Chain A
Amino acid sequence: MIEVVKAGMADSVQDAGRFGYQHLGINPTGAMDLNAMRIANALVGNQLNQAVVELIFPASSFCFHRSALIALSGADFSAKLNRKSIPINQPVLAPAKSELKFSRILNGSVGYLAVQGGFELIPWLNSYSTNLKATTGGVEGRYLKKGDKLELRNKGVIKIEQPQVLPWRADVSDFYSSTNTIRCLKGNEFDWLTKKSQSDFQKKEFVINVQSDRMGYRLKGIALGQNKKRELLSTAVTFGTIQLLPNGELIILMADHQTTGGYPRIGHVITADRSVLVQYRPNEKLSFQFVSLEEAEALAIAQSKSRAQLQVSCRLKLRELNQLP
């Protein structure tokens, strides 16, 4: 079991999301940085979509009541296990009674903690993701709080006294290749922008606003205008949809997006660039670049292959060390 000994700001249990219910208004939720979630799972030998703890700084502190094989990925919050610094993207053996704490943000916005075997939780509609709006899924449909106890599925005991970082590291460069350009597909209402705003969207820089959360990242930048006033009937939106708000600002919808929305859709961030986007911090700059659907698909496929390779090599390494259950 692991116990939350100090509550973080907005940590929650997430998996790859709850799909198949959006026609009922039930939003999919799920991990913000799906690559990081899967890297953390691969490192401990889990299925890639196993439920993990998503961490937002200031993150919770955890106590491992039994020994466990763990991995952190995504944002680097300078983790310490029993006061010993541990790296992200490397598997770590945590002894029984050890404490995991996060002290400061080194880079990124959203971190993940995976534990070998995953957690004993009750799924809701086939998913462990926390749905804050429906207040269900994950741990009682809410952020983790002090005293929460997550039972581990893996009941095996690893005999170690001190935290031990295993000697291999996931190469994550394939998942964070584009740095300050976010690639996107043209949205259905892109043409509603004036010619100048169409060009500004593709040429100007935008800044991540501090009012950004799991629902959406708001952007500051040059105000964009519509060529005439038009009303859009509510229609489906998705993770990565870039909407134009009535005040001319943009919002990029993230993992906790609603199922439908009525604002013009200027673009959609491609799946392969979501991880880069998620890990931006407030006040960081980005610009947009349109790519073709073929390119977007090819990039998504390439990342999926990299993940599968990572999973295979991690399992081989763990088998060598006899660390697979």
Chain B
Amino acid sequence: MDVAINDRVFRLFQYLQRHHKPFWKDLIPTCCTLTIVYDVVSIRNYHPSAFEWVSNELEHILHECEGSEPLPVRKLRIPVCYDPAFGFDLKPLAKTNKLSVDQVIELHSQQSYRVYMLGFLPGFAYMGIVNHKIATPRLSTPRRHVPAGSVGIAGNQTGIYPLNSPGGWNIIGRTPVKLFDPECESPTLLRPGDDVSFFPISKEEYDSFDPEKISNRPS
């Protein structure tokens, strides 16, 4: 993962979103690539080769967006309960990295993370880069069931499971915040390019968490 490359991906992604054309069916930014799903049939109504036309268009756009001002980054703070009842892998992860549980929590929650990309599940954000002291490889055998809201570490990335799902990330806590809500106008809490930080909450605060009161849901 490289911030400079991801920044270029994000800049191009934002530019294409702002100058939306109906035959861009999807724009999918990842850590170091941007994939464009385009509608061959509508483009071919005007041009003999859809691929050639898209390639030419993109060369212009790449040039134009290099100098463009990126949109302001959205900042979000997400509460996480690092209770071992939720953080199934918190103790083993601390042990592997020769740290105390409190040190892991502190290292995870003392910095902010960039959303490099979303993928895998609706609303699943790949965030980085975690402190090398707590960077830990995926579990050798993935869990069959990881509950929605689980916060995990895989390699030097951190992420939150938006839905119940099988998964191989080291689970260190859980957030009461809804990461994916199909009823919401913007169904995922996180978006590419967001700046996310975590703050620890107790089990009691987790249990009494009122999603209606959440003030960090950005517009």
Contact = CB atoms under 8 A, between A and B. Distances in A.
B30 A236 contact: yes
Contacts of A235: 30-33, 35
Contact of B118 (A20, A24, A131): A24
Given A20-B25, A233-B1, A294-B49, A125 B120 contact: no
Interface in A1-31: 19-28
Given A23-B13, A304-B41, A260 B28 contact: yes
Interface stretch (B76-84, B103-111, B185-193, B196-204): B185-193
A134 interface: yes
Contact of B119 (A141, A234, A271, A301): A234
A124 B182 contact: yes
A19 B37 contact: yes
Contacts of A203: none
Interface string A100-119: 00000000000000000000
Nearest to B185: A125
Interface string B181-219: 010000110011000000000000000000000000000
A270 to B, nearest CB: 10
Contacts of B117: 234, 260
Contact of B122 (A133, A260, A293, A300): A133
A297 interface: yes
B113 interface: no
Contact of B51 (A22, A25, A293): A293
A260 B182 CA distance: 20
A302 B182 CA distance: 37
A234 B31 contact: yes
A20 B30 contact: no
Nearest to A236: B35
Given A19-B25, A297-B51, A259 B119 contact: yes
A238 B37 contact: yes
A27 B163 CA distance: 14
Nearest to B28: A236
Nearest to A27: B122
Nearest to A298: B44
Interface string B9-43: 00001000000000001111111110101001100
B152 to A, nearest CB: 15
A60 interface: no
Interface residues of B, number: 37
A35 interface: no
Nearest to A124: B182
B121 interface: yes
A239 B167 CA distance: 23
Contacts of A22: 26-28, 37
Contacts of B40: 271, 297, 300-301
Contacts of B163: 133-134
Nearest to B157: A234
A20 B186 CA distance: 12
Interface string B149-177: 00000000000001100000000000000
A153 to B, nearest CB: 23
B123 A25 contact: yes
Contacts of A260: 28, 30, 117, 119-120
A192 to B, nearest CB: 16
A49 interface: no
B33 A236 contact: yes
- Which one of B26, B120, B163 has the highest number of Cβ atoms from chain A below 10 Å of its Cβ? B26
Given A25-B118, A25-B162, A236-B119, 5 more contacts: A23-B26, A234-B119, A235-B32, A260-B30, A301-B40
23 contacts: A19-B25, A19-B37, A20-B26, A23-B29, A24-B188, A25-B122, A25-B125, A133-B122, A134-B182, A136-B182, A233-B32, A234-B117, A235-B31, A236-B28, A236-B33, A236-B35, A259-B118, A259-B119, A260-B120, A297-B49, A300-B40, A301-B40, A301-B44
Interface of B: 1, 13, 25-33, 35, 37, 40-41, 44, 49-51, 117-126, 162-163, 180, 182, 187-188, 191-192
